[in-house]
């Protein structure tokens, strides 16, 4: 009922109602809270109200869902007048299932007597299947024998479902379907084909069928990759995703040699950051990832499950420990006693930047490779520039700053063409604060040498006119700088002011 949004349903010739299973930020299988089934009645009434608004009847309605959404589709379809049901890997014995696997959901759905609640929920959907409002239903259930839930939640009810006028059961046998989460993505084409047909008034009838070529594929795969010289063994390393937060980069990815299955016990992966002058190594944690086999499928199935990697710590790799420079992401990994090296790429092109502790970080992701660049914010003074404050004052604990900073090459034709940063340096520690941009002041005669269109947004200011909070700065004296980041690089002013914080007293001096 919810989760099939996006392009998958763009071509459906029908009105689509998405219903999210979220009440009070809890899941309830669209059914109940404390065994009070008002949620179920509300969902039922919502669907009927939408049908009434379009002058449609329940025979023109298809209920579609996966997993717990499939459970709801099966329950609402058999209990009420809705004609068509498409349920992918549904659960039916939801009391025991939620009590053991989804404890928070079970606590929300159950009353004080948990044993009673488990029994009520276990029989709720099966009773509706066995005693439907009508046997004139079109029901399509998608599952797989590789999904352990099939034997518990679907197989016991097949005989009752077979009493329906048009019951269809698709069991997938494919090397790409190895567990519950794999079934629905693999069968999206089948699900959409049924939905398209139903929306055209056509009722497909398949009976009990299977798809995939699992047994044959496994045999051919073994023969193919065990043949001498067949396995290509080309290393592939790739980020699923990668994020830059302050001075930490975190990610999940995979690294495998194509054609060679991954042995979990001997698997070791190291991520390397390499520049022209420096190299840093970071041992990775191995991560089970069953999506790799699908992403790298080429003629035959290979088990790459343990080719996944991620940082040891959730915050990722600490970039504050590396020198300045531009670094390429590389992967070094072992597989069956062999060592492989590969640059790490990403199929999603993305540029992310961050300003933190006196440095500017830029993360670039692409199919050609991934890099991160670390640059110091202060110290690179332009040969020619115009700099002045229009306001510099401290109103405890906020420092208010605004002014202009123009330099050759650092053009600002738009507000987002660059970024101004306030830097406060104490000894070797730098505190950085991002500033906003505004249009260039008209009362700045020194700016006359600069093209007014190219430098239109060369004013800086503390965001929202609320100032920069210095409450957490340590005691002592700080030297203030303004830095400017553009596509041309990073430039900064010479020391612009001095700020002293001693107890409750403060001093601000323009240099």
- Tell me the C-alpha distance between 283 and 46, whole Å: 52
Instruction: Identify the CA nearest to 96 among candidates 116, 71, 122, 72.
Output: 122
Q: At what angle do helices 68-79 and 38-53 cross, to 10 degrees?
A: 70
- Tell me the C-alpha distance between 37 and 127, whole Å: 15
- The per-residue pLDDT for 4 is 58
- The per-residue pLDDT for 260 is 84
Task: For residue 268, give the DSSP letter.
Answer: E
- Tell me the C-alpha distance between 135 and 160, whole Å: 10
- The per-residue pLDDT for 10 is 74
Instruction: Identify the CA nearest to 48 among candidates 9, 87, 10, 82.
Output: 82
pLDDT digits (tens, 9 = 90+) for 88-124: 999 999 999 999 999 999 999 999 999 999 999 999 9
- The per-residue pLDDT for 228 is 46
Domains of the chain, by residue range, sit at 7-212, 235-376, 385-510
The correct answer on CATH 3.10.560.10 for the domain covering 7-212 is no
Q: Can 7-212 and 235-376 be said to share one CATH topology?
A: no
Question: What is the CATH code of the structural domain delimited by 385-510?
Answer: 2.60.40
Could you tell me if 21 and 83 are in contact, meaning their C-beta atoms sit under 8 angstroms apart?
A: no
Angle at 290 (CA atoms; ends 185, 236), nearest 5 degrees:
110
Cα within 13 Å of Cα(85), Cβ side: 37
- Tell me the C-alpha distance between 87 and 68, whole Å: 9
- Tell me the C-alpha distance between 361 and 352, whole Å: 8
- Tell me the C-alpha distance between 379 and 261, whole Å: 51
- The per-residue pLDDT for 1 is 44
* Phi, psi for residue 327 in degrees, rounded to 5: -120, 140
CA 146 to chain centre: 27
- Tell me the C-alpha distance between 126 and 14, whole Å: 30
Give the domain 235-376 fold. Immunoglobulin-like (2.60.40)
465 three-state secondary structure: helix
Below-70 pLDDT ranges, the chain = 1-8, 215-216, 218-219, 222, 225-232
- The per-residue pLDDT for 8 is 65
Does the global pTM surpass 0.85?
Answer: no
- The per-residue pLDDT for 55 is 96
């Amino acid at each position: 009922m919810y989760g099939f949004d996006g392009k998958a349903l763009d071509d459906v010739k029908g009105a689509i109602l998405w219903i999210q299973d979220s009440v009070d930020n809890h899941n309830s299988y669209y059914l109940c809270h404390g065994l009070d089934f008002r949620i179920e009645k509300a969902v039922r009434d919502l669907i009927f109200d939408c049908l009434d608004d379009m002058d449609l009847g329940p025979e023109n309605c298809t209920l579609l869902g996966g997993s717990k959404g499939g459970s709801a589709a099966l329950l609402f379809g058999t209990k009420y007048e809705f004609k068509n049901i498409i349920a992918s890997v549904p659960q039916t014995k939801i009391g025991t299932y939620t009590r053991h696997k989804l404890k928070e959901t079970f606590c929300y759905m159950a009353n004080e007597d948990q044993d009673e609640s488990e029994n009520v929920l276990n029989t709720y959907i099966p009773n509706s299947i066995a005693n439907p409002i009508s046997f004139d239903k079109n029901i399509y259930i998608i599952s797989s024998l590789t999904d352990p839930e099939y034997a518990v939640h679907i197989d016991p009810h097949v005989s009752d479902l077979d009493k329906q006028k048009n019951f269809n059961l698709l069991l997938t046998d494919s090397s790409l379907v190895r567990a519950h989460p794999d079934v629905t993505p693999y069968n999206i084409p089948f699900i959409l084909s049924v939905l398209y047909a139903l929306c055209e008034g056509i009722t497909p009838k398949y009976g009990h069928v299977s798809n995939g070529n699992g047994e044959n594929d496994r045999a051919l795969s073994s023969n193919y990759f065990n043949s001498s010289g067949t396995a290509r063994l080309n290393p592939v390393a790739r980020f699923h995703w990668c994020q830059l937060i302050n001075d930490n980069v975190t990610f999940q990815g995979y690294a495998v040699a194509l054609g060679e299955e991954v042995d979990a016990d001997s698997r070791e992966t190291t991520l390397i950051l390499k520049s022209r002058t420096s190299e840093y190594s970071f041992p990775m944690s191995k991560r089970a990832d069953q999506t790799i086999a699908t992403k790298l499928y080429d003629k035959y199935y290979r088990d790459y499950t343990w080719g996944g990697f991620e940082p040891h710590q959730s915050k990722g790799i600490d970039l504050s420990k590396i020198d300045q420079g531009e670094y390429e992401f590389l992967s070094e990994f072992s597989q069956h006693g062999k060592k492989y090296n590969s640059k790490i790429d990403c199929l999603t092109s993305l540029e992310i930047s961050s300003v933190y502790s006196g440095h500017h970080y830029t993360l670039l992701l692409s199919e050609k490779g991934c890099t991160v660049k670390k640059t110091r914010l202060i110290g690179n003074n332009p040969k020619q520039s115009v700099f002045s404050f229009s306001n510099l004052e401290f109103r405890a604990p906020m420092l208010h700053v605004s002014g202009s900073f123009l330099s050759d090459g650092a053009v600002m034709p738009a507000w987002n063409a660059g970024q101004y940063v306030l830097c406060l340096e104490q000894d070797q520690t730098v505190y950085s604060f991002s500033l906003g941009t505004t249009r260039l002041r008209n009362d700045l005669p020194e700016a006359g040498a600069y093209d007014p269109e190219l430098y239109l947004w060369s004013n800086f200011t503390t965001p929202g006119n609320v100032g920069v909070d210095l409450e957490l700065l340590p005691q002592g004296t700080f030297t203030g700088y303004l830095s400017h980041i553009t596509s041309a690089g990073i430039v900064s002013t010479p020391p612009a002011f001095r700020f002293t914080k001693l107890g409750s007293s403060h001093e601000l001096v323009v240099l």
